[in-house]
Amino acid sequence: MKNNCVYIETYGCQMNLADTEIVIGILKSNGYDITEKAECADVILLNTCSVRENAEQRIYGRIGNLKTLKADKPHLILGVLGCMAERLRHELVEDKKVVDLVVGPDEYRNLPSYIDVAFAGEKGIGVKLSRTETYDDIMPYREDGLQAFISVMRGCDKFCTYCVVPFTRGRERSRALDSIINEIKELSNRGFKEITLLGQNVNSYLDGGTDFADLLSAAAMVDRTMRIRFSTSHPQDISDKLLYTIASHPNLCNYIHLPVQSGSNRILELMNRTYTVEHYLGLIDKARKIIPNVSFSTDIISGFPTETEEEHQMTLEIMKKVRYDGAYMFKYSPREGTKAYKMDDDVAEETKTRRLQEIIDLQQTISLEINQSMIGKEEVILIEGRSKKSNEFFAGRADSNKFVIVPVTEGVSEGDYLRVKINRGTSGTLFADFIEKVNPRSDNLALTA
């Protein structure tokens, strides 16, 4: 008999992408085939995100059009995984009856049984959150490639007042160091060149006496030719030990994603971010002293409840002080169940939009200035493949995570490290000339030039 085929679409953050790989790992070991085409599937799964309102709206739209496939295929099962599951199971399954299966982020191990339940004509519902589930023993399914994401911890205990994650993904728990290191070894053997260690708040990682800095050190030592990145860091929890660890391993990328959210202490307090602007700027200074050439990206929310024009200006001010290499910028959207949901969402939509646009424009200007100031400098980039725009160029990434385009050169292929010289910069891309191929095992190699 032919195996049942599953089609899966992923929305939202890198954690969700990593979860999809876990889900595929579980399904494959239970005899399911994976298909790239929704029309060919017996089971369609959407791994969903709830972090902002527009993410949820997109998913509703998608459920709406996938539902039409049921007309020709009555046995087709439509399921929702991930962050929307817990929040919307009543609405999705009981009220609107649009989906047959709702499985939350801590119940993927039981997904095959829930699918069986759905095939038997019942609704498969598994939305319990766990304090211990880390999927430690499950090898995520990954196609061969250069880059991989590994989730090292799950959940979040920070309870920022705008954020739904502690409710949709539950309490913080860390994976065992050994299982993470084994996964990195396996990826190294398969030729992967870049690993990103993931968690909502990786700095809270703890396995017995092993903290996140220890994990980074151990990860960096698995294979010196592999770059290690991590995300996301909370500004309250970055230790000096972590900064020194990053500085001491050439293959730990000198790049920190450090969400600031707002430049106003009053708003930061309302957000329950537990740090001040002064602490944040102090941390940036310290990191720049300890890690030469470190680059930063951030997350910013515009129009949090009660945010005044002056407080919005403070956000622009902190952006000018830090001069981020990149930023993810959002309009505040109230999320049911969070503390901020009870606050009056009193910043008018057009004001939020205008403030967000000012934030985006400023970041574009800063990114452009930073990128142009790099003209003439050397960088070591990892070649990821051909540029999407032209087959005559390679696309790669610098240690700082900046996107670099370089002409195709004979003898160079995907996965190689190149030393290049920057000759042009836009706000999103650097263009460079080839200098030489570098051997990441040679003694004098630092993966930054």
Judged by the rule CB under 6 A, the positions of this chain that interact with ligand SF4 are: 156, 158-160, 163, 165-166, 200-201, 234
Q: Name the minimum Å distance from CB 193 to ligand 5AD.
A: 26
* 202 vs 18: CA distance, rounded Å: 15
Which CB atom, from 169 or from 312, has the smaller least distance to ligand SF4? 169
Contacts of 204 (CB under 8 A, 6+ apart): 153, 157, 172, 174, 212, 234, 237
Contacts of 307 (CB under 8 A, 6+ apart): 262, 264, 267, 332, 347, 355
Question: Could you say whether residue 335 binds ligand 5AD (CB under 6 A)?
Answer: yes
Question: Could you say whether residue 333 binds ligand 5AD (CB under 6 A)?
Answer: yes
CB 219 within 8 A of CB 202: no
Which one of 190-198, 331-339, 373-381, 411-419 is the stretch in contact with ligand 5AD (CB under 6 A)?
Answer: 331-339
Q: Name the minimum Å distance from CB 105 to ligand SF4.
A: 13
Tell me which of ligand 5AD, ligand SF4, none is bound by residue 52, counting a contact when its beta carbon lies within the kind-specific cut-off of 5 to 8 angstroms.
ligand 5AD
Tell me which of ligand SF4, ligand 5AD, none is bound by residue 330, counting a contact when its beta carbon lies within the kind-specific cut-off of 5 to 8 angstroms.
ligand 5AD
Tokens of 38: 């929704």
* 334 vs 394: CA distance, rounded Å: 42
Tell me which of ligand 5AD, ligand SF4, none is bound by residue 333, counting a contact when its beta carbon lies within the kind-specific cut-off of 5 to 8 angstroms.
ligand 5AD
Q: Residue of minimal CB distance from ligand 5AD?
A: 299
> Which DSSP letter does residue 4 get?
P
Question: Could you say whether residue 51 binds ligand 5AD (CB under 6 A)?
Answer: yes
Angle between helices 349-373 and 309-322 (to 10 degrees): 10
Which CB atom, from 8 or from 156, has the smaller least distance to ligand SF4? 156
CB 155 within 8 A of CB 163: no
Which CB atom, from 359 or from 374, has the smaller least distance to ligand 5AD? 359
The footprint of ligand 5AD on residues 291-320 (CB under 6 A) is 299, 301
* 271 vs 420: CA distance, rounded Å: 42
CB 51 within 8 A of CB 83: yes
Which CB atom, from 18 or from 26, has the smaller least distance to ligand SF4? 18
Strand, helix or coil for residue 344: coil
CB 192 within 8 A of CB 143: no
Q: Name the minimum Å distance from CB 274 to ligand SF4.
A: 10
Which CB atom, from 67 or from 158, has the smaller least distance to ligand SF4? 158
Tell me which of ligand SF4, ligand 5AD, none is bound by residue 301, counting a contact when its beta carbon lies within the kind-specific cut-off of 5 to 8 angstroms.
ligand 5AD
CB 378 within 8 A of CB 398: no
The footprint of ligand 5AD on residues 229-268 (CB under 6 A) is 259, 261
Q: Which stretches of the chain bind ligand 5AD, using CB under 6 A? A: 51-52, 162-163, 259, 261, 299, 301, 330, 332-333, 335
